[in-house]
Structure 1
Amino acid sequence: MTLSVEKEVNPHFEDFLFDWRCKAQLLVGGYGSSKSYHVALKILLKLLEEKRTALVVREVYDTHRDSTFSLFTEIIEDLGLSGKIKTSSSPMTVKFPNGSKIIFRGMDKPEKLKSINNISLIWLEECSEIKYAGFKELLGRLRHPTLDLFIILSTNPVSKGNWVYKHFFKNELEDYYVLDDEELYKLRTVIVNNTYYHHSTADDNLFLPGSYIEQLDEMASYDPDLHRIARKGRFGVNGVLVLPQFETKPHDQVMNEIARIRKPLYKNGMDFGFVDSYNAILRMVVDHENKWLYIYWEYYKRGLTDDIVADELAAEGLKKVLIKADNEDAKAIAYYQQRGFRMLSCKKLRRIDNTRKMKRFKRIICSEACVNTIRELKELTFKKDPKTDEIIEDEFNIDPHTFSAMWYGLDDYEVANVKGANAKRK
């Protein structure tokens, strides 16, 4: 269908509107960047040109009415096409004179997705709110016998623990890498692995009033996390850090600092794992005078039987040191003892008490060689109660196996104490 329309758009989105080279298109941006507006405009232009059925998805169906559906309606009226493109609010649909149509669905009503056929274009608005399993299911719904297939995702950046970051950028725990998000912030648009990446901020929206941008700037003083998301449009840590004193240093520097500690306390902890969780062992040194903790060596593997792990640890010389391990697995501890390891069960302490103990260290300095420890602990945050928005002090955004190894290895050490077990040396 040939229609001539004129519309002023933000320059940063001009190329995006007509770029259909990639099957997947990810738009990441801050508040007010106009990414959703330009996605909706892009879809309208495509469906005017080609007969297609597009599916627009949000986590909750009812949120479409005041967001995506309202946005399509606004653009259609603004283009002067309300006489040609028909919208219906019950059920929410957009129908084109060439037979194209847009249908709206929510992941909270999955049964509504089963009857959809010949979908060649999907838009996931606020995709970070949708579960990863839902995203993969939608990929399976994307099929058409003749047309090219496209899936567009738009979101404000949230935590690096969210599936969007892990899938489209990197998942360090799984050693999976596609793109460094810092590169996207620098280049603004990037194509990698048949995915078109687009980054935007409020500065890219020339139609925003200056007062709105001033409000975003003010967030820096009272909510840095929200300022990072809303103003800068960047992924990062979302929430309250469990260990804000955690830092990293080159391995040689860490070992040199350990060598200068007047009375070093050597500690070793192990958390057991197998299929879904990891065998995690940390070797640590406490500088009791300064209340500093050093982490200088790690073992982090899964899917290995105890005999293989024992052989690998023996090769590293760990039979010579005392290791405190998870008291919930007496059988495993007994096996390692039989193999000649000096392994003991740790004390039974509550998770909340162990966490509070770790927070009492003034500094936690980790060798850059301990990559898995850094991945788990550098951005470890507390979970929040969804009803009260208060943090839960013994629940975290991930299951941090190295954190458990810290607990076990330091079970007989109290940061505040001066005598007793803390006075013992290696």
Structure 2
Amino acid sequence: MIEKVKPVNPHFEDFLFDWNQKFQFLVGGYGSSKSYHVALKIVLKLLEEKRTVLVVREVYDTHRDSTFSLFDEIINDLEIDHIVRCVSSPMQIRFPNGGRIIFKGLDKPAKLKSINNVSLIWIEECSEVKYEGFKELLGRLRHPTLPLHMILSTNPVGEDNWTYKHFFKDDRQKRFVLDDKELYEKRTFVINDTYYHHSTADDNLFLPGSYVKQLDEMKEYDPDLYRIARQGHFGVNGVRVLPQFEERPHEEVMTAIANINRPLKRVGMDFGFEESYNAVVRLAVDHEKKYLYIYWEYYKNGMTDDQTAEELSEFAETKELIKADSAEPKTIRYFQQQGFNMVGAHKYKGSRLQYTKKIKRFKKIICSDRCENTIYELKPLTYAKDKLGHIIEDEFTIDPHTLSAIWYALDDYEVTDLKEESKGRPKRSRPRSRERGEVNG
């Protein structure tokens, strides 16, 4: 029967008949044929066994021109359309042994509750599904006798997506399963109860050369999309805010700071409680090299002011100056009463943009590997975009509390603008601090 369909791509031959693991995670670039081979695998399985299969996408209406259409094509290619019925309303595929494929969207979660005895789930474009949806589907996967399987397929997205954190690594939770680079090298991998499969357009021997050429051309005009579409790799999506950000071993950072000629040291603090965080960072600036070093952090939420003051009591003892968010004058006053040398940073209309531009002027931003939350927020930090896809220069894809703390710490410091240097203006040998901490935009 397999000979009746268009030839199977060799890279997917083993995958078609491998049901040894509960989870099968397929990630790949555009045109790699992963979705086609998942659908074929499911059809072949249901011709052998009576199963109820649930095919899920985030939006129900997207099934008709994608997964449902793909199953219909395969069933016609196999010439079994006289025994396997494709019902279009509601979308469903029925097999002669009583097996069936049903299609649902997580935009209508209530309709999932009526489904029973689902032994196989395929989540197509799983990166578009919310993590809560994935966990809900795990609860729907149950059958009294048949082995349970879940297939997940997707194009790679950002490393901040739940699929990367769940199936590869989550630095914030200190959870590691598999290095994605190892998968790209080996192409298939089995770990625990998960089968991993990586594919690109090169694995689809029946893809037109003109299509592959279009993918290759992306490298010149859209490197992010080229990484996703052509290479099939996870990474950072969008325009990075701080491309000069580097992570270094703590001892190396401290040695570099010790060797700075007259280092400028600063401390900044951003306030938070429930959704946001209290973030404190210690910085050192090499003004001659235009390097910024981040060597210490404090990062917690759900803490009352008295609890935070107790945990940061060393600052009250050392009297280190802390520049904090001036939008919280009562909090600043409380810390002052507890003996902290804390003042509010200067904030004004447009200061977010000017602060960000200032930080971007550093040639290098070098962060100690002990500052895990700073790395987590700033290394992949990208700009938010408007409805037209244009970046918003003072908005980001997350709320980076450590960046706010850096803003405040350096509110009275000026990094020489390279544009000014190119106009022949004299370089300042030392940073200029203004009495009110105003920022030169």
Asked whether the two chains share a fold, i.e. TM above 0.5, the reply is yes
Offset at residue 49 of structure 1 (A): 1.1
Q: Which amino acid aligns with 2:110?
A: E
Deviates more, 1:316-325 or 1:231-240: 316-325
Partner of 1:257: 256
Q: Which amino acid aligns with 2:372?
A: V
Change (3 A) 1:143 1:38: same
Q: Partners of 1:395 and 1:135 in 2: how far apart? A: 29
Change (3 A) 1:276 1:22: farther
Change (3 A) 1:96 1:175: same
Partner of 1:389: 389
Offset at residue 290 of structure 1 (A): 3.4
Q: Partners of 2:50 and 2:156 in 1: how far apart? A: 33
Change (3 A) 1:232 1:316: farther
Partner of 1:14: 13
Offset at residue 357 of structure 1 (A): 2.1
Other structure's SS at 1:103 match: strand
Other structure's SS at 2:373 match: helix
Query: Which residues of 2 match residues 78-117 of structure 1 at below 5 A?
Result: 78-117=77-116
Q: Partners of 2:51 and 2:357 in 1: how far apart? A: 57
Q: Which amino acid aligns with 2:149?
A: F
Offset at residue 226 of structure 1 (A): 0.7
Offset at residue 105 of structure 1 (A): 1.6
Other structure's SS at 2:358 match: helix
Contact kept? 1:169, 1:177, Cα under 8 Å: yes
Offset at residue 277 of structure 1 (A): 3.1
Q: Partners of 1:317 and 1:154 in 2: how far apart? A: 53
Alignment of 1:376 onto 2:358:
no
Question: Deviations for 1:246-271, whole angstroms, at most 9, x for unmatched residues?
Answer: 12333333333323333322111112
Offset at residue 359 of structure 1 (A): 1.6
Contact kept? 1:31, 1:233, Cα under 8 Å: yes
Q: Partners of 2:306 and 2:398 in 1: how far apart? A: 28
Contact kept? 1:269, 1:405, Cα under 8 Å: yes
Alignment of 1:421 onto 2:436:
no
Q: Partners of 1:273 and 1:15 in 2: how far apart? A: 51
Offset at residue 147 of structure 1 (A): 2.2
Question: Deviations for 1:23-42, whole angstroms, at most 9, x for unmatched residues?
Answer: 22111111111110111011
Contact kept? 1:319, 1:340, Cα under 8 Å: no
Q: Partners of 2:215 and 2:253 in 1: how far apart? A: 40
Q: Partners of 1:94 and 1:140 in 2: how far apart? A: 23
Alignment of 1:200 onto 2:199:
yes
Offset at residue 412 of structure 1 (A): 1.8
Query: Which residues of 2 match residues 247-326 of structure 1 at below 5 A?
Result: 247-315=246-314, 319-326=318-325
Other structure's SS at 2:55 match: strand
Other structure's SS at 1:14 match: helix
The number of equivalent residue pairs is: 419
Partner of 1:356: 357
Query: Which residues of 2 match residues 102-251 of structure 1 at below 5 A?
Result: 102-251=101-250
Q: Partners of 1:38 and 1:272 in 2: how far apart? A: 50
Other structure's SS at 2:268 match: strand
Q: Partners of 1:318 and 1:324 in 2: how far apart? A: 16
Other structure's SS at 2:56 match: strand
Change (3 A) 1:180 1:275: farther
Change (3 A) 1:308 1:111: closer
Contact kept? 2:412, 2:432, Cα under 8 Å: no
Offset at residue 300 of structure 1 (A): 2.5
Q: Partners of 2:136 and 2:394 in 1: how far apart? A: 33
Contact kept? 2:345, 2:408, Cα under 8 Å: yes
Deviates more, 1:14-23 or 1:221-230: 14-23
Partner of 2:56: 57
Q: Which amino acid aligns with 2:433?
A: A
TM-score (norm 2): 0.88
Contact kept? 1:352, 1:393, Cα under 8 Å: yes
Offset at residue 275 of structure 1 (A): 4.0
Offset at residue 133 of structure 1 (A): 1.9
TM-score (norm 1): 0.91
Offset at residue 85 of structure 1 (A): 0.9
Question: Deviations for 1:304-349, whole angstroms, at most 9, x for unmatched residues?
Answer: 4444443443358873311111223333323332332212222224
Offset at residue 422 of structure 1 (A): 7.2
Deviates more, 1:209-218 or 1:165-174: 209-218
Q: Which amino acid aligns with 1:202?
A: A
Contact kept? 2:353, 2:393, Cα under 8 Å: yes
Give unpaired runs (5+ residues) of structure 1: none
Deviates more, 1:224-233 or 1:244-253: 244-253
Q: Partners of 1:416 and 1:265 in 2: how far apart? A: 15
Question: Deviations for 1:41-92, whole angstroms, at most 9, x for unmatched residues?
Answer: 1111111111111111112222212211111111111111111111122222
Other structure's SS at 1:120 match: strand
Q: Partners of 2:375 and 2:77 in 1: how far apart? A: 50
Other structure's SS at 1:226 match: helix
Partner of 1:66: 65
Question: Deviations for 1:107-155, whole angstroms, at most 9, x for unmatched residues?
Answer: 2233332332222211111111112222222222222233222211100
Q: Partners of 2:181 and 2:307 in 1: how far apart? A: 39
Q: Partners of 2:124 and 2:317 in 1: how far apart? A: 51
Q: Partners of 1:84 and 1:132 in 2: how far apart? A: 37
Partner of 2:411: 411
Q: Partners of 1:210 and 1:240 in 2: how far apart? A: 30
Partner of 2:332: 333
Q: Partners of 1:318 and 1:151 in 2: how far apart? A: 56
Q: Which amino acid aligns with 1:107?
A: L
Deviates more, 1:376-385 or 1:365-374: 365-374
Contact kept? 2:414, 2:432, Cα under 8 Å: no
